[in-house]
């Protein structure tokens, strides 16, 4: 527990600084996190005998992130199509790969999943009031997740899906949802005060967005847990002491970026 707190205390200021500065700093941090998660994704599935080529996963991810940052237009479609076709051709000439069709599909799936999640975190920050939205979304996920961890660890009895994630309980999930609603509501009020009323975000938007994230982003956690249980590992990696790997840390955030961007779009 102590190691977990120390790691969080070191990483939190870096992430918050990246959100505030935005631009290249934020894009660079998201890119680094997603590319490291891709390494862990490839390594985990390698335990099942899938020789997924990391550079094809990275290529797909970089295309999604580059489009979110620069708006590649037609070139984005050309890049995605080329990556899909060249990846298929690569499998044809590597007969030593076990289950080449599944390997090709898992390569595309990993690149799409991580690329889309990372891209929409960049798109969220790039919105006209992206600073305040991002400063609401990411902390809501962290606070809600911490509430679930604390309550579930102490009082969790009724497991949600013990075969997928043995540590997740309905008691913890209830605390997570409550914390999501409350933190979303309070964070928007805080940013309104900090900005001197310059942000148009409303407390009700914070309330509903916080609830939406707390209800749905655990699915990202469960998805990564499903992969980990399938390959027989506890964590996606050992990059962050007390927290596991990069994929473990961004699993819920990948969903949060997409959900929040859609929420903001509907609010406009």
- The pLDDT, as a whole number, for residue 31 is 97
- The pLDDT, as a whole number, for residue 268 is 74
Domain that holds residue 180: 2-267
Query: How far, in Å, CA of 111 to CA of 109, rounded?
Result: 6
Residue 117: C-alpha distances to residues 34, 35, 128 (Å): 9, 12, 20
Average pLDDT over every residue of 96-103: 81
- The pLDDT, as a whole number, for residue 242 is 66
- The pLDDT, as a whole number, for residue 176 is 97
Band (pLDDT 50/70/90 cuts) for residue 93 is confident
Looking at the structure of the chain, the number of domains it has is 1
- As given in the structure block, the two tokens for residue 169 are 């309980």
Question: 105: burial class by Cβ within 10 Å (0-12, 13-18, 19+)?
Answer: middle
> Over the stretch 60-77, which tens digit does the pLDDT of each residue have?
999 999 999 999 999 999
* Buried b / exposed e along 194-224 (16+ C-beta atoms within 10 A): eeeeebebeeebbbbbbbbbbbebbebbbbb
Q: What percent of the chain has pLDDT over 90?
A: 78
pTM: 0.94
Query: How far, in Å, CA of 129 to CA of 200, rounded?
Result: 8
- The pLDDT, as a whole number, for residue 95 is 63
Residues whose CB falls within 8 Å of the CB of residue 20, separated by 6 or more in sequence, listed in order = 131, 135
Residues whose CB falls within 8 Å of the CB of residue 25, separated by 6 or more in sequence, listed in order = 17, 18
**In the predicted structure, residue 184 carries a pLDDT above the cut 70:** yes
Question: 136: burial class by Cβ within 10 Å (0-12, 13-18, 19+)?
Answer: buried
Neighbours of 29 (CB within 10 A): 17
**In the predicted structure, residue 237 carries a pLDDT above the cut 90:** no
Query: How far, in Å, CA of 164 to CA of 217, rounded?
Result: 16
Query: How far, in Å, CA of 47 to CA of 149, rounded?
Result: 28
**In the predicted structure, residue 150 carries a pLDDT above the cut 80:** yes
- The pLDDT, as a whole number, for residue 77 is 95
**In the predicted structure, residue 4 carries a pLDDT above the cut 90:** no
**In the predicted structure, residue 1 carries a pLDDT above the cut 70:** no
Positive/negative CA dihedral, 209, 212, 213, 215: positive
Q: Which of 239, 249, 217 is nearest to 43 (CA)?
A: 239
């Amino acid at each position: 527990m102590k190691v977990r707190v120390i790691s969080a205390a070191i990483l939190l200021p870096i992430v918050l600084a990246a959100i505030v500065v935005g631009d290249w700093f934020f894009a660079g941090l998201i890119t680094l996190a997603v590319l490291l998660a891709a390494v862990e994704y490839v390594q985990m599935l390698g335990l099942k005998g899938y020789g997924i080529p990391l550079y094809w996963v990275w290529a797909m991810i970089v295309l999604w992130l580059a489009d979110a940052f620069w708006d590649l237009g037609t070139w984005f479609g050309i890049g995605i199509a080329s990556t899909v076709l060249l990846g298929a051709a690569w499998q044809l000439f590597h007969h030593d790969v076990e289950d080449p069709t599944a390997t090709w599909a898992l390569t595309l799936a990993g690149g799409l999943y991580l690329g889309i999640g990372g891209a929409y975190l960049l798109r969220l920050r790039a919105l006209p009031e992206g600073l305040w939205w991002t400063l609401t979304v990411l902390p809501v996920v962290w606070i809600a997740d911490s509430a679930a961890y604390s309550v579930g660890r102490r009082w969790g009895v009724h497991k949600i899906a013990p075969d997928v994630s043995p540590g997740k309980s309905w008691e913890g999930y209830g605390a997570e949802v409550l914390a999501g609603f409350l933190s979303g509501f309070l964070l928007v009020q805080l940013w309104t005060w900090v900005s001197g009323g310059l942000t148009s975000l409303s407390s009700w938007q914070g309330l509903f967005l916080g609830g939406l994230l707390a209800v749905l982003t655990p699915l990202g956690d469960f998805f990564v847990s499903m992969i980990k249980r399938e390959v027989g590992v506890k964590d996606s990696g050992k990059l962050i002491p007390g927290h596991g790997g990069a994929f473990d840390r961004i699993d819920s955030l990948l969903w949060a970026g997409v959900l929040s961007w859609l929420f903001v779009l509907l609010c406009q």
